[in-house]
């Protein structure tokens, strides 16, 4: 379910509190955005820094009040324009972390500067531990093909580290398996009771060579991927992906699905205060969340409706 309000967000009023807020405002990019030379749907993004900071501050103050205490605000901004937003959110939120979205593989049309491939998404919360769900990024295709070459009765597996890296000290104890004692000089990454459980469950890869390291078995069929990090390099922008563009600055549905999946549960409410083409609503529909959309541009109403017809 989604509710759409065609109005300036600063005039929007509601008693609803939101678990997730996705804020994708103008970037202060000194550009005008349109769908094409023959289609004027879009917006102007030309400000003074002072006017932009005032505008962003008013929005963040309001969004802070609309956010659940254990909720998360995601502020999406170009890496080239990140400094004023960072200043504003760090003044309002005690917990702010950057997510780096590598939106493009490359920039082949660059002649006089470095190609810009990174957007920053500021992950902002009121509490140290907001609602959080682990999501997974796909495994590297080459690693999936070559990294699970070992096999036992359970299936194919790769090798997970048990011994602490050489520059650190881990848990110090001996492990005896059969006639062999393992006592690495840097120690173990996990506690003794945990490694004994792995031994009992036949989840230890025994080395063939004397003096080699122990590893744990990481099974392919039990491994959903790699737990999501703060570098998102597996989702491409609409200009380099297969999704059709419905608005000049539209973001891919997969990006919004990840943001929503991380920070909310089915049935929770999500707010997009400058919603553009309604990507957030589509992602919420896919994931079973409720969504409020706000935008001052009347053109977006028909664009959003087309997503659901």
Q: What is the pLDDT of residues 265-309, one digit of tens each?
A: 999 999 999 998 899 999 999 999 999 999 998 988 988 988 887
Q: What mean pLDDT is predicted for residues 138-149?
A: 81
Beta-carbon contacts of 75 under 8 Å, excluding residues fewer than 6 positions away, are 23, 60, 85, 89, 121, 122, 124
Length of the chain: 309
Query: Where does residue 258 rank: exposed (0-12), middle (13-18), buried (19+ CB within 10 A)?
Result: buried
Q: What mean pLDDT is predicted for residues 206-216?
A: 87
pTM summary value = 0.80
Share of the chain above pLDDT 70, in %: 94
Domain ranges of the chain: 2-137+226-307, 141-222
User: What backbone phi and psi angles, to 5 degrees, belong to 263?
Assistant: -115, 0
Beta-carbon contacts of 82 under 8 Å, excluding residues fewer than 6 positions away, are 120, 122
Q: How far apart are CA 247 and CA 227, in angstroms?
A: 31
CATH number of 2-137+226-307: 3.40.50.150
The pLDDT of residue 28 is 85
């Amino acid at each position: 379910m989604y509710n759409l309000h065609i109005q300036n967000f600063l005039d929007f009023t509601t008693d609803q509190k939101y678990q997730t807020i996705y804020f994708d405002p103008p970037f202060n990019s000194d550009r005008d955005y349109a769908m094409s030379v023959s289609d004027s749907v879009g917006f102007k993004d030309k400000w003074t820094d002072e006017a932009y900071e005032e505008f962003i501050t008013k929005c963040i103050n309001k969004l802070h009040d609309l956010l659940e205490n254990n909720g998360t605000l995601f502020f999406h901004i170009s890496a080239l324009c990140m400094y004023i937003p960072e200043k504003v959110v760090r003044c309002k939120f005690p917990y702010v972390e950057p997510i780096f979205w590598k939106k493009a593989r490359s920039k082949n049309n660059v002649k006089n500067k470095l190609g810009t491939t990174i957007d920053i998404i500021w992950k902002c919360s009121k509490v140290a531990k907001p609602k959080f769900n682990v999501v997974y990024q796909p495994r590297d295709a080459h690693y999936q093909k070559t990294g699970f070459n070992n096999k036992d009765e359970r299936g194919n597996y790769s090798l997970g580290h048990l011994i602490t890296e050489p520059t650190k000290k881990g848990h110090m104890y001996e492990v005896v398996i059969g006639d062999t004692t393992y006592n690495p000089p840097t120690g173990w990454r996990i506690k003794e009771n945990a490694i004994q459980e792995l031994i009992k469950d036949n989840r230890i890869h025994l080395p063939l060579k004397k003096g080699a390291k122990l590893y744990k078995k990481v099974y392919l069929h039990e491994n959903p991927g790699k737990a999501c990090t703060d570098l998102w390099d597996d989702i491409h922008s609409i200009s380099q992906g297969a999704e059709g563009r419905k608005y000049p600055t539209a973001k891919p549905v997969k990006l919004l699905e990840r943001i929503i999946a991380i920070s909310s549960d089915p049935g929770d409410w999500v707010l997009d205060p400058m919603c553009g083409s309604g990507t957030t609503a589509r992602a919420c529909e896919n994931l079973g969340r409720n969504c409020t959309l706000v935008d001052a541009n009347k053109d977006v109403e028909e664009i959003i409706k087309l997503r659901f017809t």
